[in-house]
């Protein structure tokens, strides 16, 4: 049993293989947090963990309970207005305008499963991996509204999934102004906050800062989870490293506006909140309706940050990613975007396709520009019909030729967008998001469709389905290249406009849901100018994501290393592109570009018709090598070893190890080559200490212990005349004998 309830039914102890999460009913009948951390034995009560002492200057709940001071109590889902001045987990406005709530415990329900949520991407337990769900119901004495706090326990990945459901069984509407997915009240503030931030082309760089008094947060108000801040966060003890120490990981199964905050109050406690951003949000909880928050994933380990990433990644693979693709090897693709941009026609594409076929590449992806009369980024978004001048015999004629070569085919869409120069805009100007009296702010010459409207989702589902039927495509790259401005829906009432941001993302999920249900064999890759919507909501529908538009191998070290904290490598699209690199002009070798891109879902994004025979031969060998080790690269356990965010960042190394520890491949990347340098050794991780291994097929045998504890000697790079020895990469293939 993962969930134990004491005989008085007042304490709920949720246990995973290595963690405990304990909740109790407090003297005021609200729900209190007792403990979250390393697994501890079950007891009937935990007075030591909730000990209280009266403090001055802060309200008490009641004269009879002088030491029950809301600001000092650890709670599960706090309201505002009853003496707890920290940011609340939820806020309701009553019909009379009061924002006070008094939710009290009613009952609980326990089930031996984990059901999906309706209309939202969510976790599941299809493989019957011992998940259990606890729902604790509270009722507001003031309005009669019900609050269901949901906890799903996934014991084997040390994950607890939380969400809240608000239900209004009364005849009167109330407004939900704030509704986070989860709250965690940690008893002290001795933590580092690890966040993954950046911007377009430098997504998810790691920032690690000590918590300070006050509120600190990462958030998005862009209508998407964003490239600037990612909803994934870690809280780690300052001494925690990759391989040891305590850390919590929190993430949100959501792709829209979010807020993850940590508030350190005057008593040095840390309140963590994760969920929908309360700014640009309010929900009319009309009679007989419910509101469901997205799910928050919580995980804890005392074995370091790398373990935390691995257990969360393992959890997503088993309980979040579309099961059909979770373990399915992903195709090596070639994408024509950086090869041709908009300048292509069927004949030009077919030369690339044939060449790619000769190189052993599995799939051709036709990117932006195949529809309407799109020859640049000013037109045709929304008109999902063949660009006739580019495909005079029809798009399906081209697609049939790709399939005839026994290659898979992928197609780019940007479903949520519309160009003003489009038949769709001319027919339905009111389908755009935008205040009718304001001047709409363009971005990349395009505007956002109102995905909260069913007619918009119906139109897109119909158009995209027709293209899938005609082309029999195998993969869709779903792009999204701008964020929402002038948020206003022509269809929503004035009092419901603050529902738009959430309704928008529900519409996106509805479209994904319809398409993935109707075409279960089509692999989706989510994209948002690269990594602008790299989140767990997307991952539920699209098992892989385009990690960043920045394809420079050196830049990718930080981007992929940072991303690996929160997301498994099978989610990361990683392409070899041309040099000088399109984004920063850097020249790196094909070897280095390949050695970085191997640690993700490999693709090529360059004009292979312009390459030398030697370069083509090298690509052919890279593709064959990746095919040979593909399960290891995509699904092996990922180890971060040398961080590009550490010291001068000159060295990065990482590796993947097979679950049975029989094989591992490690990548080592050096930016600048220094002459007369100190001796260097590559340390490996994840091997079986007792087994014997070879390195790169050499004759010498090494124990796992030797390779992990003493490392492997790495000779310095000798410059070769005429070639740069900077930006080098080495791979170490470690195999058990």
Phi, psi of 416 (to 5 degrees): -80, 0
Q: Which is nearer to ligand DGJ, 413 or 654 (CB)?
A: 413
Nearer to ligand DGJ, 295 or 549 (CB): 549
Q: Which one, 259 or 380, has the nearer CB to ligand DGJ?
A: 380
Distances (CA, A) of 582 to 412, 681, 726: 20, 33, 19
Q: Using CA of residue 223, residue 227, residue 229, residue 232, what is the dihedral sign?
A: positive
Rounded least distance, CB 281 to ligand DGJ, Å: 28
Query: Using the rule CB under 6 A, is 525 a contact of ligand DGJ?
Result: no
Q: How far is the CB of 322 from ligand DGJ (least distance, A)?
A: 22
Binder of ligand DGJ out of 529, 547, 564, 643 (CB under 6 A): 529
Q: Is 125 in the site for ligand DGJ (CB under 6 A)?
A: no
Chain centre to alpha carbon of residue 394: 37
Residues involved in catalysis: 479, 549
Sign of CA dihedral 108, 114, 117, 122: positive
Nearer to ligand DGJ, 263 or 479 (CB): 479
Of 46, 337, 488, 512, which one interacts with ligand DGJ (CB under 6 A)?
Answer: 337
Q: Do 622 and 594 touch, CB atoms closer than 8 A?
A: yes
Q: Quote the DSSP letter at residue 460.
A: H
Query: What DSSP designation does 295 have?
Result: P
Smallest separation (angstroms) from ligand DGJ to the CB of 201: 10
The torsion defined by the Cα of 617, 621, 627 and 631, in degrees rounded to 10, comes to: -140
Q: Is 213 exposed, middle or buried (0-12, 13-18, 19+ CB in 10 A)?
A: exposed
**Nearer Cβ to ligand DGJ, position 91 or 408?**
408
- Ranges within 354-383 binding ligand DGJ (CB under 6 A): 367-368
What tokens appear for 136 in the block? Answer: 């604790």
Query: Using a CB cutoff of 8 Å and minimum separation of 24, what contacts does 322-330 make?
Result: 322/516, 322/540, 322/541, 322/543, 323/126, 323/127, 324/520, 324/521, 325/523, 325/543, 326/543, 327/635, 329/630, 329/631, 329/634, 330/523, 330/543, 330/544, 330/570, 330/601, 330/630, 330/634
Give pairs for 672-679: CB < 8 Å, separation 24+: 672/726, 673/716, 673/717, 673/719, 673/725, 673/726, 673/728, 677/716, 679/713
Rank residues 258 and 337 by Cβ distance to ligand DGJ and give the closer one: 337
When binding is defined by CB under 6 A, the residue of 457, 527, 651, 707 that contacts ligand DGJ is: 527
Interface region with ligand DGJ, contact rule CB under 6 A, candidates 78-86, 526-534, 619-627, 660-668: 526-534
d(CA 427, CA 412): 23
- Smallest distance, ligand DGJ to C-beta of residue 548, A: 8
Least distance (Å) from ligand DGJ to the CB of residue 442? 15
Instruction: For residue 306, give the nearest of 568, 121, 89, 59 by alpha carbon.
Output: 568
Q: In the complex with ligand DGJ, which residue's Cβ is closer, 280 or 549?
A: 549
Alpha-carbon distance of 462 to 351, in angstroms, equals 32
Residue whose Cβ sits closest to ligand DGJ: 368
Q: Among the candidate windows 379-387, 447-455, 527-535, 619-627, which touches ligand DGJ by CB under 6 A?
A: 527-535
> How near is the Cβ of 338 to ligand DGJ at its closest, in Å?
8
Q: How many residues bind ligand DGJ (CB under 6 A)?
A: 11
Per-residue contact track with ligand DGJ, 480 to 499, x per CB under 6 A? -x------------------
For ligand DGJ, give the closer residue by CB, 314 or 549: 549
Distance CA 254, CA 251 (A): 9
For position 412 contacting ligand DGJ by CB under 6 A, the verdict is: yes
CB of 337 to ligand DGJ, least distance (A): 5
Does position 546 interact with ligand DGJ (CB under 6 A)? The reply is: yes
How many other C-beta atoms are found inside a 10 Å radius of the C-beta of residue 646?
Answer: 11
Residue 549 binds to ligand DGJ (criterion: CB under 6 A)? yes
> Which CB atom, from 207 or from 342, has the smaller least distance to ligand DGJ?
342
- For the chain, how many residues are written? 737
Applying CB under 6 A, which part among 506-514, 524-532, 621-629, 682-690 lies near ligand DGJ? 524-532
Among 242, 260, 479, 601, binds ligand DGJ (CB under 6 A): 479
Q: How far is the CB of 594 from ligand DGJ (least distance, A)?
A: 19
Among 530, 562, 568, 686, binds ligand DGJ (CB under 6 A): 530
Q: CA-CA distance, 324 to 322, in Å (whole number)?
A: 6
List residues near ligand DGJ by CB under 6 A.
337, 367-368, 412, 479, 481, 527, 529-530, 546, 549
């Amino acid at each position: 049993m993962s969930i134990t309830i004491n005989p008085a039914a007042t304490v709920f102890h949720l246990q995973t293989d290595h963690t405990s999460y304990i909740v109790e009913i407090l003297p005021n009948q609200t729900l209190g947090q007792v403990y979250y951390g390393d697994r501890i034995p079950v007891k009937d009560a935990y007075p030591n963990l909730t000990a209280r002492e009266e403090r001055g200057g802060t309200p008490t709940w009641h004269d009879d309970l002088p030491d029950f001071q809301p600001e000092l109590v650890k709670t599960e889902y706090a309201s505002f207005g009853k003496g707890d001045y920290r940011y609340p987990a939820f806020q309701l406005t009553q019909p009379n305008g009061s924002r006070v709530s008094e939710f009290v415990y009613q009952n609980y329900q326990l089930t031996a499963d984990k059901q999906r949520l309706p209309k939202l991407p969510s976790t599941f337990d299809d493989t019957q991996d011992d998940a259990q769900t606890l729902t604790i119901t509270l009722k507001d004495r003031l309005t009669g509204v019900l609050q269901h706090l949901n906890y799903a326990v996934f014991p084997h990945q040390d994950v607890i999934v939380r969400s809240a459901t608000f239900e209004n069984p009364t005849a009167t509407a109330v407004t939900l102004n704030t509704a986070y997915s989860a709250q965690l009240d940690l008893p002290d503030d001795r933590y580092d906050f690890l966040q993954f931030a950046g911007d377009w082309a430098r997504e998810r760089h790691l920032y690690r800062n000590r918590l300070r008094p006050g509120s600190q947060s990462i958030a998005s108000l862009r209508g998407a989870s964003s490239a600037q801040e990612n909803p994934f966060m870690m809280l780690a003890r300052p001494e925690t490293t990759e391989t040891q120490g305590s850390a919590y990981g929190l993430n949100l199964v959501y792709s829209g506006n979010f807020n993850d905050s940590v508030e350190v109050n005057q008593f040095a406690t840390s309140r963590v909140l994760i969920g929908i951003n309360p700014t640009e949000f309010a929900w009319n909880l009309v009679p007989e309706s419910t509101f469901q928050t997205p799910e928050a994933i919580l995980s804890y380990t005392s074995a370091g940050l790398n373990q935390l990433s691995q257990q969360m990644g393992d959890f997503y693979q088993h309980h979040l990613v579309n099961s059909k693709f979770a373990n399915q090897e992903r195709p090596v693709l070639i994408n024509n975007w950086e090869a041709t941009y908009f300048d292509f026609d069927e004949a030009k594409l077919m030369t690339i396709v044939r060449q790619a076929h000769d190189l052993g590449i599995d799939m051709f992806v036709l990117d932006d520009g195949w529809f309407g009369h799109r020859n640049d980024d000013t037109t045709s978004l929304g008109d999902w019909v063949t660009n006739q001048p580019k495909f005079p015999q029809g798009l399906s004629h081209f697609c049939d030729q790709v399939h005839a070569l026994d290659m898979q085919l992928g197609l780019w869409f940007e479903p949520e967008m519309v160009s003003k120069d489009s038949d769709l805009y001319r027919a339905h100007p009111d389908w755009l998001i935008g205040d009718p009296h304001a001047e709409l702010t363009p971005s990349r010459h395009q505007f956002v469709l109102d995905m909260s409207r069913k007619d918009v989702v119906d139109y897109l589902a119909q158009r995209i389905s027709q293209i899938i039927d005609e082309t029999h495509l195998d993969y869709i790259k779903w792009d999204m290249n701008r964020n929402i401005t002038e948020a206003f829906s022509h269809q929503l009432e004035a009092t419901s406009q603050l529902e738009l941001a959430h309704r928008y993302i529900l519409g996106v999920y509805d479209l994904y849901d319809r398409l993935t249900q109707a075409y279960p064999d089509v692999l989706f890759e989510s994209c948002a100018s690269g990594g602008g919507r790299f989140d767990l909501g997307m991952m539920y529908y699209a098992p892989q994501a385009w990690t960043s538009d920045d394809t420079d191998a050196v830049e990718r070290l930080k981007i992929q290393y940072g991303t690996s904290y929160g997301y498994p490598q099978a989610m990361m699209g990683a392409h070899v592109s041309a040099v000088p690199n399109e984004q920063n002009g850097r020249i790196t070798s094909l070897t280095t570009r390949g050695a970085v891109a191997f640690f993700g879902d490999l693709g090529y994004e360059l004009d292979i018709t312009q390459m030398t025979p030697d370069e083509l031969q090298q690509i052919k060998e890279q593709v064959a090598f990746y095919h040979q080790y593909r399960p290891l690269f995509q699904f092996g356990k990922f180890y971060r070893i040398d961080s590009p965010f550490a010291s001068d960042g000159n060295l990065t190394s990482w590796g993947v190890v097979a679950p049975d520890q029989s094989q591992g491949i490690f990548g080592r990347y050096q930016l600048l080559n220094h002459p007369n340098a100190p001796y260097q050794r590559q340390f490996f991780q994840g091997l079986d200490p007792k087994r014997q291994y070879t390195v790169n097929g050499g004759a010498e045998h090494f124990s796992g212990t030797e390779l992990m504890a003493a490392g492997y000697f790495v000779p310095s790079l000798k410059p070769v005349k005429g070639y740069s020895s900077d930006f080098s990469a080495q791979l170490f293939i470690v195999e058990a004998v």
